[in-house]
Amino acid sequence: MTTLNISLPESMRSYVDEKVSQGGYSTASEYIRQLIREDQKASAQERLELMLMEGINSGPAREMTADDWNLLHSRVEQRQTEDKQK
pLDDT tens track for 14-48: 999 999 999 999 999 999 999 999 999 999 999 99
In this prediction, residues 71-86 reach a mean pLDDT of: 92
pLDDT of residue 52: 95
In this prediction, residues 46-59 reach a mean pLDDT of: 94
pLDDT of residue 61: 82
pLDDT of residue 20: 97
Cα separation, 53 vs 49, in Å, equals 6
Residue 61 DSSP code: P
pTM for the model = 0.65
pLDDT of residue 84: 87
Q: Which alpha helices (DSSP H) does 1-86 contain, by range?
A: 10-23, 28-57, 66-85
